[in-house]
Structure 1
């Protein structure tokens, strides 16, 4: 489903238009059952002081002159309340500077005047699609004041209602405590975010780059990196808060008696606590500037959270700039043509959650995505590796040099931007970001035509040509790199194996380059030629013939119960299979609708089970009677089944165990299910089914 801005996904199936019309028809105010006016929607402990009891009030109950938006939305409409969501509100301050982007998030057909139904809606980008979130306008109030976000004008409520909608999207208000501003920037725009180390440029170059970015609609923010948790929230002698997000809202030049001064305008989302160094609101430097100049830049010398700072001082005090633009050219003067490919994926324990490169036996099982670079850039692209802020504070995978040398001559390489976002880590009052990263490997020509060839040996003997950086416990990690022409594979992983989670990966590449999932080839089965073609051994034939006579019914055939007894009582102990698995094997045979086996069919199945036992033993390296689930795809390949990752993942979810081990019975059950599904597909006469292909068929029925 293509959920665009014009046709967004309805969050929790709530249709704003229908709900609003129903309320207007019955002359009632909307009360949202999906996000009720209760403590559960707050997610924080209740205040024990009765005088500070929480109330839920509508805007006109708080202020008789309540407006949704008074005039136009501005940064002064946003002040932080009793919630640590400065990252969200700083991004919201940036959003107000770009009216078209603001209108995408805040539909402009909403008012607190008649016709009024107490219902509002907002749109957010979520992992490749836009989502429309409905809320009622009951807001949490404590001691007569809004508990969370509020406007300095006191009678404006759009920011408080947007904050409520974003809290609903993420579970509750408490789920918004703490975050990275790039997360909110991307959710407001669907754009691509980047981190930039302030120290990577001279003050003059940085100032020019930020001004150019603002003019192209890029959202900008900054912060001072806290060395440890204790430093977060500490105020520096210059009045700046460590670990706190500030919005960058403008750059400009003013003239004093000494000449031109390059300035940046910042805003603290608290709405107070401002920079107090040179060029701050009340400093003497402004006395040397003409009033006309001060009026031109709209200088406001008030404690409103907004202040100007000289470019030199900015570079000496701040450590990181965060930016978000609709394409990767946030700092480049010449726009280029980008092609975007995205994939939804998952790390499934025991199947596709192989961990970092230090787990050499399982790293290859992580989701993989192919990239073919053939089209070169037609212009210089500057600063392709300026994301060094992302290297800080993460987990290193090993002590080795992690990236192989690769030629990156601008004339013979192309720009690629990769972003990996983990999904659904803000739920209710818990924020659980996993440590994630991605690696890019070059695929040699001899392996390019075989998508199943990139196994453990390939990754253990080759170094990546690039990576996202250290594993980061943040929602997203991204990297802009230059790659020479060739075939590459991108591997997305968590730091530790068997960590369950879902993710979204998108790849920006120059037009002409090709991107695809590693699992994009049709599944195939050679089971009949690999396993069923093996004849039964003479000794086993004699045993089977004797046991068949003992177990067969009057029709001289075996049903599932009798076949189960034959395997479990007369043959090797290791062939023990459950009755249900025996039924699956029988229904994989052509029994003419009887569900019973002839002697020849019994001999064939016993031979097949013996072959599967040999395959299973090959991967049961510790002779425990179980097979590591990471080896399931290799065992299935040995049995003649080549499966793409999504199919393998669904197969594991259907047959895998909680302890991430697979018994021989479970392995045979997988084989029986696959064999029957492949046979049914071959007999299917529908052209529509054939057009969709075997992969779609397997994904549809593998869970049945």
Structure 2
């Protein structure tokens, strides 16, 4: 069984759609090829060496391999008279204090310019949502303040390798306006500079004018992408979307209209255009549930005007807390729409991740994916004595790659095959071949053949146990270099144990996998890999913990909440969490996620007072009606309902204070609360002839105040 993956559709600034082997699982590659430790230097330009040379000579870098000249723009992007009106300016010529990044990278930093590269910007907008990928593409060792020399660099994935692309910061302007993407904030330049680096990689700005969002998603992640036709969608499309969002996939979509590019319809949707899918949610609506999709337009404006758009009456029937958490009523290009309208208005959905985690929907086990990579050359075969091409002979003499499926779940996809053709170095005039592959069984029976006129042909399958062979091929009489990747789901016990799971942690993940994932999450947010402060903790919790659909409905972690959490877990009292301290917090949070999910029986994303009582008891803690009322008042909303972020803060404090009280009752004086209580209350105890119960009541009252403070 296979999902048929067709070429990208929808044009107009958005084009319609000896081997080396590695194993990969989750987010870690086990071989140097394609890793960030083995980055290739594009055009043999070394960023550090070039920057040092410029600083030592007091010069600003000028890139001779991608000069400030019309050759870098491309001869056909603009009419000749306009082409030669272009001026190149550095950010330091435009502003006194330019910045590379302000307050982190965001899709709302991006506004498309005159170049028709919505396909690339839609992928870039999705990238900003997944911080683990952003750091791969945008190195931190650069900026306009320290060691500025007019030189920057960015990294992209190309046919199995990460390449480092160096540029100077001269940007093209036409009549005083950005020719390329321009940032929403005037002095933030990462979008414009990153786009220039990608244009250099592709050969010119002109080569960004029309392209495939599927290509850009892969170039920004090194992952595997799949395309789903929305005119003939898979029956479980809604589950695929939710699984993709939960597992931190990059997602995009496109509209049809090859002859009506950039035409905005009355409903606000642009024809022949690419968009970013930024979220998927299942929310309570009236007396039922509704699947809605969040989408962003890389123009930075122009939104859907139908049901579930900003200000539409449908939002009046959504719980206020949920509406406040989801709805951003601004003209920023982002909007919600129903899954039904999504399928009606858009033609294709694109999903990309390091491994095909978006196919794990409905899987109740902790699964991982491994991948084999093969790079080789496909050559045509000529019949002896003539120049007649023989496809059968070509297939029989070209490489075949075998893989074994040990077991499978008949309801779950377990194999994904991706074949990518390598373009000529000069992108202009490069011919895209119609490529594909055959899958054969041990008895040479052909199970599948899939051919398309795109760079990357990908399909997923449900294959029963056995040995199979993949045979890359093309329908044309022309050799081509290819990268073949075979992804296989590891069912049951995982044989490869030295790789990290996805940072989006499902609540039913076994404890051993929870413990192995905290380190990866910590290192992505830590300062120089050593500690995290309250702000970093807030970013971490909101990006990782709240990826779950249910836990996100109650809103994110506030900065003050994270300061309180840090104070409870910071045993060294230095205002930061070490890896060891974070491990304790991570274990507690994953435990609370499970408790919260079980207690929230109606899946509303909130706990009422009675559900809160059940959750506290499930955590092994004791409470009474007085404390319950205080907790609901302190941590709940106007209706005394508690979302997950507030629940986690409540439980951390309640558990800490409970242990402090227990230690006091046992006569241990090392806990902070006991020292003060014993000094204060013992004289009163002696004077009044009181008993230990008297002290207990007083300490319990103080504990309640501490929990609710």
Name the TM-score class by shorter chain.
0.5 to 0.7
Shift of 1:220: 1.0
SS in 2 for 1:465: strand
Q: Report if aligned partners of 2:253, 2:350 keep a CA contact under 8 Å in 1.
A: yes
Query: Which residue is 2:186 aligned to?
Result: 154
Match among 79, 86, 111 for residue 111 of structure 2: 79
Map of 1:440 onto structure 2? 439
1:241 matches 2:270: yes
- The Cα offsets for residues 635-674 of structure 1, whole Å up to 9 and x where unpaired, read as xxxxxxxxxxxxxxxxxxxxxxxxxxxxxxxxxxxxxxxx
Contact 2:110 2:125 (C-alpha < 8 Å) held by counterparts: yes
Check 1:237–1:39 CA distance in 2 against 1; reply closer, same or farther (3 A cut): same
Compared with structure 1, are the counterparts of its residues 467 and 51 closer, same or farther at alpha carbon in structure 2 (3 Å cutoff)?
Answer: closer
Partner of 1:215: 246
Match of 1:37 in 2: 68
1:467 counterpart residue number: 449
Partner of residue 500 from structure 1, selected from 479, 487, 490: 479
| CA pair 52-76 structure 1, distance change in 2 beyond 3 A | farther
Tell me the residue number matched to 2:359: 331
Match of 2:133 among 101, 108, 119: 101
8 Å CA contact 1:441, 1:488 repeated in 2: yes
What is the Cα deviation at residue 420 of structure 1?
0.7
Q: C-alpha displacement at 1:489, in angstroms?
A: 2.6
- Within the alignment, does 1:341 sit opposite 2:372 as a pair? yes
Q: Larger deviation: 8-17 or 475-484?
A: 475-484
Q: Which runs of 5+ in 1 are unaligned?
A: 385-414, 445-461, 515-704
* C-alpha distance in structure 1 between counterparts of 2:430 and 2:263, whole Å: 23
Q: Is the 8 A contact 2:157 2:163 kept in 1?
A: yes
Structure-2 change in CA distance of 1:350 and 1:51 (3 Å): closer
Instruction: Normalising by structure 2, report the TM-score.
Output: 0.59
Q: How much has 1:238 moved relative to structure 2? A: 2.3
Secondary structure of residue in 2 paired with 1:264: strand
CA contact (8 A) 2:251 2:278 kept: yes
Distance 2:318 2:150 in 1: 48
Structure 1 residue aligned with 2:295: 266
- Alpha-carbon displacement from aligned partner over 1:500-528 (angstroms, at most 9, x marks no partner): 332211112346999xxxxxxxxxxxxxx
Which residue in 1 is equivalent to 2:428?
429
Cα separation, 2, equivalents of 1:159 and 1:422: 28
Query: 1:253, 1:438 → 2: CA distance?
Result: 37
> Is the CA contact (8 Å cut-off) linking 1:56 and 1:139 kept in structure 2?
yes
Structure 1's 464 and 218: CA in aligned 2 closer, same or farther, altered over 3 A? Answer: same
C-alpha distance in 1, partners of 2:276/2:52?
A: 38
* Alignment match, 1:612: none
1:169-205 Cα deviation digits (max 9, x unpaired): 12111122222212111111111111123356689x5
CA offset at residue 29 of structure 1? 0.8
How big is the shift at 1:381?
5.1
SS of residue paired to 2:100: coil
How far, CA to CA, are the matches of 2:226 and 2:475 in structure 1?
Answer: 22
2:468 to 488, 491, 495: 488
| Distance of aligned partners of 1:35 and 1:67 in 2 relative to their CA distance in 1, 3 Å threshold | same
Q: Secondary structure at the match of 1:84?
A: coil
Is 1:370–1:487's contact at 8 Å kept on the other side of the alignment? no
Cα displacement (A) at 1:280? 1.6
Q: Relative to 1, partners in 2 of residues 1:32 and 1:434: Cα closer, same or farther, differing over 3 Å?
A: same
- In the alignment, is the contact (CA less than 8 A) between 1:57 and 1:139 conserved in 2? yes
Q: Flag the structure with larger Rg.
A: 1
Tell me: CA distance 1:368–1:486, structure 2 relative to 1, closer, same or farther (3 Å): farther
1:25, distance to aligned residue in structure 2 (A): 1.2
Change in CA separation of 1:484 and 1:130 when aligned onto 2, cut-off 3 Å: same
Q: 1:491 to 1:152 in 2, by over 3 A?
A: same
The 5 Å alignment of 1:386-465 reads 415-425=414-424, 427-444=426-443, 464-465=446-447
Matched, 1:180 2:212: yes
Q: Name the SS for the 1:368 alignment partner.
A: coil
Distance 1:232 1:346 in 2: 37
Question: CA deviation digits over 1:50-78, x for unaligned, max 9?
Answer: 79710111112233342111111111112
C-alpha change, 1:290 and 1:426, in structure 2 (3 Å) is farther
Q: Distance in 2 between matches of 1:381 and 1:171?
A: 44
CA distance in 1, matches of 2:271, 2:153: 34
Structure 1, residues 584-640: CA drift from partner, whole Å, max 9, x if none?
A: xxxxxxxxxxxxxxxxxxxxxxxxxxxxxxxxxxxxxxxxxxxxxxxxxxxxxxxxx
Q: Distance in 2 between matches of 1:372 and 1:258?
A: 49
1:477 shift after superposition? 0.2
Structure 1 pair 500/73, CA: closer, same or farther in 2 (3 Å)? same
How far does residue 31 in structure 1 lie from its aligned partner after superposition? 0.8
1:16 to 42, 47, 53: 47
Distance in 1, matches of 2:34 and 2:83, equals 46
Deviation at 1:327, TM superposition (A): 0.9
User: Does residue 114 in structure 1 map to residue 146 in structure 2?
Assistant: yes
Match of residue 570 from structure 2: none
Counterparts in 2 of 1:6 and 1:51: CA distance versus 1, 3 Å = closer
Post-superposition offset of 1:370:
2.7
The RMSD of aligned alpha carbons is 3.0
Which residue of structure 2 lines up, in the alignment, with residue 388 of structure 1? none
Where in structure 2 are there 5+ consecutive unaligned residues? 1-31, 496-709
1:433–1:473 contact (8 Å) kept in structure 2: yes
Normalized against structure 1, the TM-score is what? Answer: 0.60
**Partner SS, residue 418 of structure 2:** strand
- CA deviations over 1:11-67 (Å, ceiling 9, x no partner): 111111111111111111111121111111111335444797101111122333421
Whole-angstrom CA distance in 1 between matches of 2:197 and 2:187: 19
Cα 1:212–1:275 change in 2 (3 A) is same
Structure 1 residues 436 and 347: alpha-carbon distance in aligned structure 2, compared to 1, 3 A threshold: same
Q: What is the aligned counterpart of 1:128 among 142, 160, 166? A: 160
Q: Name which of 65, 82, 85 aligns with 1:53.
A: 85
Quick check: 1:318 aligned with 2:346?
Answer: yes
Distance 1:364 1:260, change over 3 A: closer
Please name the residue that 1:206 is paired with.
237
